């Protein structure tokens, strides 16, 4: 544990030193943006972010005492091009810490029908507040326990978004799996409805139904630290379907922001393969509070947080209590962690983040990030 604390200043110095790189990178991105506006022949909008992380973990939370002083966590690039009026092509490339480049999202979208956007392709499923919050405006390095473990994943599909002054609605129909018996594609449906009042109050309801195709289902969950080991697991069995339900609430009051989500995932076993294995249910909840020492907290826009435009030298403090409960056949596995963090916004596009995560029965772990958005 002493070694963990002794190396923490070195990590902070390493992360802070790349801020100068961030200014150069940001200036270059702005120059490219200006060139784009002056060149009408290639109207391509480029956006993205680059994140450098560092972690300090002890053997209680990782298989070995683990120190990653500085590593590239993610490089994300997004490209948008309007090829016909109201028709847009979008794609996103991700470079993860394992150095594999992958095409994360790609879609063709149409947006000329009275506040309704339609997209076909591989797009994010809009479920949960943390899940749909961009890392550019997120107050923590990692999402809460339930968002990481319980929200269903999808592949190619159809996405609809409808936005009004106070309401936002999202609908996804997506490929979820291949049926174990027939090999045919299986599908899922999800829906989310948000209500925002005066840009200060946010309430959301999320539901999803997924045909899992009798594929093997298992949850492996780790604390809110990227390099930590999986600490709890659910039973593994062939599942016929998943049902997901979640409630979300957030409130902004000047410099203070409060948010919370409660999630339930119900898994129906395929009785042909699991004649004695009962259906399982899993749940999660968190409560998060953040406080801006300078400036107001993020407002809400179109069902999520809007990016702040007055973050010059702003300081944000954040804390979160998160719990995950996996109901297995014979025993309930649970994990509770407390997060304490601080964020320093160099400007609107560059921020430095630090999180300490304390896990019940496992002790503390530390992570830090320098992020540049453009």
Which has the higher per-residue pLDDT, 111 or 148? 148
d(CA 94, CA 80): 15
Which has the higher per-residue pLDDT, 283 or 167? 283
C-alpha dihedral (329, 331, 332, 338), degrees to nearest 10:
-140
pTM of the entire predicted model? 0.83
Residues 63-92 pLDDT 10s: 766 666 678 888 888 888 887 777 888 888
d(CA 194, CA 207): 12
CATH of the domain at 98: 2.40.160.10
For 126, half-sphere exposure in the C-beta direction (CA atoms, 13 angstrom radius) is 21
Structural domain harbouring 157: 2-373
Residues 210-247 pLDDT 10s: 999 999 999 999 999 988 889 999 888 889 999 999 99
For the chain, give the mean pLDDT: 81
Among 33-37, 151-155, 257-261, 326-330, the range of highest mean pLDDT: 257-261
Count: domains in the chain: 1
How big, in percent rounded to 5, are the helix, strand and coil portions of the chain?
A: 10, 55, 30
| pLDDT at residue 8, as a whole number | 38
Q: What is the mean pLDDT of residues 306-316?
A: 77
DSSP H or E run through 32:
helix 19-38
DSSP code, position 318: E
Q: What is the mean pLDDT of residues 252-280?
A: 87
For 87, half-sphere exposure in the C-beta direction (CA atoms, 13 angstrom radius) is 5
Residue percentage of the chain with pLDDT more than 70: 80
C-beta separation of 352 from 368 below 8 A: yes
């Amino acid at each position: 544990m002493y070694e963990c604390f002794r190396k923490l200043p070195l990590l902070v110095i390493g992360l802070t030193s790349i801020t100068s790189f961030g200014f150069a990178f940001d200036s270059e991105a702005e120059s490219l943006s200006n060139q784009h506006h002056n060149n009408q022949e290639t109207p391509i909008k480029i956006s993205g972010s680059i994140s450098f992380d560092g972690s300090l973990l002890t053997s209680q939370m990782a298989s070995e005492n683990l120190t990653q002083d500085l590593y590239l966590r993610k490089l994300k690039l997004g490209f948008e091009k309007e090829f016909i009026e109201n028709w847009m092509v979008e794609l996103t490339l991700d470079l993860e810490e394992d150095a594999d480049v992958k095409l994360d999202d790609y879609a063709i979208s149409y947006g000329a029908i009275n506040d309704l956007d339609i997209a076909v392709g591989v797009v994010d499923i809009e479920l949960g507040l943390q899940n749909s919050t961009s890392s550019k405006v997120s107050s923590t390095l990692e999402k809460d326990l339930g968002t990481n473990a319980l929200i269903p994943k999808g592949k190619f599909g159809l996405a609809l978004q409808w936005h009004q002054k106070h309401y936002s609605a999202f609908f996804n129909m997506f490929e979820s799996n291949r049926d174990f018996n027939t090999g045919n594609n299986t599908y899922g449906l999800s829906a989310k409805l948000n209500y925002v009042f005066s840009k200060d109050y946010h309430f959301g309801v999320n539901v999803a139904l997924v045909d899992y195709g009798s594929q093997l289902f298992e949850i492996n969950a780790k604390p809110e630290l990227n390099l930590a080991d999986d600490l709890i697991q659910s039973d593994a069995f062939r599942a016929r379907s998943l049902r997901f339900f979640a409630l979300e609430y957030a409130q902004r009051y000047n410099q203070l922001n409060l948010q919370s989500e409660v999630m339930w995932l119900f898994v129906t076993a395929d009785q042909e393969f699991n004649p004695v294995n009962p259906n399982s249910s899993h749940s999660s909840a968190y409560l998060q509070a953040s406080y801006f020492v300078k400036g107001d907290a993020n407002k809400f826009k179109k069902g999520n947080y809007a990016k702040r435009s007055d973050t010059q030298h702003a300081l944000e403090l954040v804390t979160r209590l998160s719990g995950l409960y996996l109901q297995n056949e014979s025993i309930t596995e649970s994990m509770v962690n407390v997060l304490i963090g601080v964020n320093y916004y160099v400007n609107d596009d560059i921020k430095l983040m630090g999180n300490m995560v304390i896990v019940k029965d496992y002790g503390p772990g530390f992570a830090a990030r320098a992020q540049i958005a453009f």
